[in-house]
Amino acid sequence: MIERFNADVEPKKVFEYFSEISDIPRGSGHMEKISSYCCDFARSRGLECYSDEALNVVICKNGSVGRENEPPVILQGHLDMVWEKRSDCSIDFEKDGLELLSDGEYVFANGTTLGGDDGIAVAYCLAILDSDDISHPPLEVVFTVDEETGMDGALALDASRLKGKRMINIDSEDEGTLWIGCAGGARFDALYEFSPVSASGTACEIVVSGLHGGHSGAEIHNGYANANVVMGRVLKEISGSVDFCLACICGGTMDNAITRECRSKIIILSESEALFKVINRLNSSLRKEFSETDPDFSLRVRSCKNEKTCMNKTDTERIIGMLCDFPNGVVSWSKSIDGLVQTSLNLGTIKTVDNKVSLVYLVRSCDNSEKASLIDKLKITAEKYGAEYKVHSEYPAWEIREASELQNIFAETYEKMFGKKMTVTAIHAGLECGLFCGKIDGLDCVSFGPDIFDIHTPDEKLSIPSCARTWEYLLAVLKNL
Ligand SMILES: [Zn+2]
């Protein structure tokens, strides 16, 4: 039976705080209220606290009795949540709190995301800060803002004020798994300016659609086809038997999503029969090629309204050349962790605007030097085709440490408590740990958290028993540090 969630389940303090922060609107970019709530919380308990211009909050607490002189440890999570709701949900996110529900096993929100990502970290930390009977070393609790929209809080944070050289990030959603590394990233934008010529010929639109898509970090290993890249192959193939110029090409909406659809318009200078033949042949060979990963793949062509201008032959060839020459997808696999992608890139969007074609790639790598080398390769390729480029929004990888005291304590404590081994792994997506490692020399860092399912969607749900076990585990780790 689904009922209103009452915070009267164990761990009570944690769920009390979780309910309290669920009443505070805290979507990314709306951080004022939650940030000042955390500062007020600290002040009213006499805890040292500071916030910065970005609205990040740091709260310090002395070590428990007898542990005051131990080296401090950083506990970290993010204050913002993703605001997603069902179409029939009438919540005003900026004003209303969330309505928490439970079926006894899970906590979730009525029609919206729950914000368990990463409200559970905030609730754990507040419960620890509020306690006087938990054994722990001196604590620096760091609450960052706007993780979900580009880690802007962690980017802006002045870490030189932090004394801790060990950090526990509580922003993972898989109980029993310890994350010890993550990919860094960068955006690579290639921009090709073409000289328009007047279009005289038959206009046709080519559409690549029905592809699976997915997250360009977490799902890149699945090998889903990228519609923009497929379009490059299609155009190259057509150019073998049809005389044409490209008028425009557009595909994808986000740099971090594997592109599901791409459209291009071409002006045919010869007769169009050959085009339909090639498209038919390609449609069946590509359907076969993608049958495992993208069974709904479709390639279509239809005649369309004529364009006033298009690219000349040279520009057309160069755009197709770039699409075929730039690498895409998985570039290399980790040598230390089975099945982990080390380096990848995704051609997230192509746009044609005002005589310019832009190609936007999101590059990821768990190895900072391999990432730099891939970006160099992209630069050389762009130059080869006469395109300008810009590298930006770069953040470092959280590189896996060979020897980590923190990892050992987490692994040993887990095995002792639960009688099984923890999964120790890394992820091919971004975590704030990478930014902290870039700012704090020699930082020893791990990430973990309770089971939360379907984050970033209105189906998001937090497991109550997992939350309780993870709480006991965190307390045991703090005791063993
Ligand atoms: Zn998160």
Task: Look up the CATH number of the domain holding residue 299.
Answer: 3.30.70.360
Calculate how far, in angstroms, residue 240's C-alpha sits from the geometric centre of ligand 1. Answer: 48
User: Do 149 and 165 fall within a single domain?
Assistant: yes
Residues 412 and 364 in one domain: no
**Cβ burial, residue 95 (10 Å; 0-12/13-18/19+):** exposed
Q: How far is ligand 1, taken at its centre, from the CA of residue 360, in Å?
A: 25
Q: Residues 55, 65: contact at Cβ < 8 Å?
A: no
Are 371 and 418 part of one and the same domain?
Answer: no
Q: Which residue has the tokens 């990463």?
A: 118
Contacts of 376 (CB under 8 A, 6+ apart): none
Distance 82 CA to ligand 1 centre (A): 9
Upstream peptide bond of 196 is cis (omega within 30 degrees of 0): no
Q: How far apart are the CA of 94 and the centre of ligand 1, in A?
A: 20
For residues 131 and 225, state if they share a domain.
Answer: no
Cα(476) to centroid(ligand 1), Å: 23
273 CA from centroid of ligand 1 (Å):
52
- In this prediction, residue 270 carries a pLDDT of 85
CA gap 250, 241 in Å, rounded:
23
Given 334, 359, 393, the domain boundary residue is: 393
Two tokens at 92?
A: 């005003």
Q: How many helices (H) and strands (E) does the chain have?
A: 11, 26
150 and 35 in a common domain: yes
117 CA from centroid of ligand 1 (Å): 5
Catalytic residue among 117, 118, 140, 147: 147
Residues 382, 240 share a domain: yes
Please report, as a single letter, which amino acid is at residue 338: D
**Distances in whole angstroms, Cα of residue 41 to Cα of each of 25, 66, 407:** 17, 25, 31
Query: Does 204 lie in the same domain as 133?
Result: no
**118 C-alpha to ligand 1 centroid (Å):** 5
Q: pLDDT tens digits, the chain, 481 residues: what are they?
A: 999 998 889 999 999 999 999 999 999 999 999 999 999 999 999 999 999 999 999 999 999 999 999 999 999 999 999 998 888 999 999 999 999 999 999 999 999 999 999 999 999 999 999 999 999 999 999 999 999 888 999 999 999 999 999 999 999 999 999 999 999 999 999 999 999 999 889 999 999 999 999 888 888 999 999 999 999 999 999 999 999 999 999 999 888 889 999 999 999 998 889 999 999 999 999 999 999 999 999 999 999 998 889 999 999 999 999 999 999 999 999 988 888 999 999 999 999 999 999 999 999 999 999 999 999 999 999 999 999 999 998 888 998 888 899 999 999 999 999 999 999 999 998 899 999 998 999 999 999 999 999 888 899 999 999 999 999 999 999 999 9
Cβ–Cβ under 8 Å, residues 118 and 75: no
Residue with tokens 């890149």: 220
| 72 lies in the same domain as 150 | yes
45 CA to middle of ligand 1, Å? 27
Instruction: Write out the two tokens for 81.
Output: 């949540």
Three-state DSSP class for residue 122: helix
Q: Considering only CA atoms, which of 476, 414, 449, 395 is closest in space to residue 119?
A: 449
H/E run at residue 263 = strand 262-268
List the one residue out of 16, 388, 333 whose CA is nearest residue 194: 388
Backbone phi, psi, residue 385, to 5°: -100, 10
| C-alpha to C-alpha distance for 170 and 64, rounded to whole angstroms | 21
Q: Three-class SS of residue 403?
A: coil
Alpha-carbon distance 4 to 44, whole Å? 29
In sequence order, what E strands does 14-128 have? 48-51, 57-61, 73-78, 100-102, 106-109
Residues 143 and 199 in one domain: no
The answer to whether residue 219 is catalytic is no
**Residue 3 falls in the annotated catalytic set:** no
CA of 313 to the centre of ligand 1 (A): 47
- CATH number of the domain residue 42 falls in: 3.40.630.10
Domain that holds residue 325: 185-393
Number of domains in the chain: 2
Phi-psi region of 260 (alpha: psi -120 to 50; beta: other; left: phi over 0): alpha
Long-range contacts of 35-41 (CB under 8 A, 24+ apart): 35/79, 35/143, 35/145, 38/79, 38/122, 38/126, 38/143, 41/126, 41/129, 41/130
Alpha carbon dihedral 226, 228, 230, 234, in 10-degree steps, equals 170
Catalytic residue among 80, 148, 237, 315: 80
